[in-house]
């Protein structure tokens, strides 16, 4: 039975990796569109004039990369799967797949409607956090985690639960200020770029209180 479960988990991860790769490819295709503008200007000047597209690509790439890292970490300890977990994982992949769209919106409207464009992009972070929490929460509550890893895995559940509140607050702040949510999103990248380090601090804090 364990061998079958491990195989099923591996298939989910392999399929998910393929979706992440496609999402990044879509980002690149959006960037290539900048070369289709008819202009007599040189290559360097054309690229400089489309700096928003390059910035949006970088942000989108980092977003998907950080999401992939956290997805890998979350599934590292999962030993069993069922149909419900597949659907929850599918929701995460859906959000990852549409990430190039809010990225394109951010590039196109960051100067015209900065608050709305940033909020549109930031709502995507909220959905990612919701999906990540859903995976960890379901796996933890349905005992899909090895017993010796459950205490530490609970820290992932707390971490992504915090992410939901954090990204929701940042989303609403986009319509009030631009600088504050941008700083919040930068901090979000830093924290979730090393999820094990973040989770270990939560774990140590919880153990110290016991």
Kindly report, residue by residue over 87-99, the tens digit of the pLDDT. Answer: 999 999 999 999 9
What is the predicted pLDDT for the residue at 98? Answer: 92
Query: Is the pLDDT reported for residue 144 higher than 60?
Result: yes
Evaluate whether 91 touches 134 at the Cβ level (below 8 Å).
Answer: yes
Q: Could you give phi then psi for residue 21, rounded to 5 degrees? A: -65, -40
What is the predicted pLDDT for the residue at 130? Answer: 96
Most confident range (mean pLDDT) of 33-37, 143-147, 168-172 is 168-172
Interval 64-89 mean pLDDT: 92
- Give residues with Cβ within 8 angstroms of 204, minimum separation 6: none
DSSP state of 37: S
Structure tokens at 79: 């030993």
- Give domain limits for the chain: 2-209
> SS3 for 78?
strand
What is the predicted pLDDT for the residue at 40? Answer: 61
pLDDT-based confidence at 1, cuts 50/70/90? very low
Distances (CA, A) of 183 to 35, 112, 139, 189: 31, 20, 32, 10
Structure tokens at 192: 């979730």
Structure tokens at 122: 């930031």
Question: Please, where are the H alpha helices in 77-194?
Answer: 83-98, 100-109, 114-141, 150-173, 179-193
Rg (CA), the chain: 19
pTM of the model: 0.84
What is the predicted pLDDT for the residue at 183? Answer: 92
Structure tokens at 92: 């995460």
* Largest separation between any pair of C-alpha atoms in the chain: 69
How far apart, in whole angstroms, are the C-alpha atoms of residue 146 and residue 96? Answer: 28
Distances (CA, A) of 145 to 17, 78, 131, 148: 21, 5, 18, 8
Choose the weakest-confidence range: 44-48, 88-92, 168-172.
44-48
Q: Report the chain's mean pLDDT, rounded to a whole number.
A: 85
How far apart, in whole angstroms, are the C-alpha atoms of residue 142 and residue 46? Answer: 54
């Amino acid at each position: 039975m364990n061998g079958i479960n491990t195989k099923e988990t591996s298939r989910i991860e392999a399929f998910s990796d393929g979706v992440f790769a496609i999402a990044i490819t879509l980002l690149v295709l959006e960037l290539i569109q900048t070369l289709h503008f008819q202009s007599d200007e040189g290559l360097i000047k054309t690229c400089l004039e489309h700096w928003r597209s390059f910035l949006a690509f970088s942000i989108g790439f980092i977003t998907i990369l950080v999401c992939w890292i956290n997805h890998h970490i979350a599934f590292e300890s999962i030993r069993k799967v069922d149909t419900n977990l597949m659907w929850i994982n599918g929701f995460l992949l859906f959000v990852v797949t549409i990430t190039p769209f809010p990225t394109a919106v951010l590039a196109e409207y960051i100067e015209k409607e900065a608050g709305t464009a940033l909020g549109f992009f930031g709502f995507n972070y909220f959905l990612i956090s919701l999906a990540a929490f859903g995976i960890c929460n379901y796996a933890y509550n349905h005992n899909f985690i090895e017993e010796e890893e459950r205490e530490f895995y609970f820290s992932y559940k707390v971490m992504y639960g915090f992410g939901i509140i954090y990204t929701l607050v940042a989303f609403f702040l986009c319509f009030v200020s631009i600088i504050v949510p941008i700083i919040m999103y930068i901090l979000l990248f830093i924290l979730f770029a090393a999820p094990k380090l973040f989770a270990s601090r939560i774990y140590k804090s919880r153990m110290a209180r016991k």
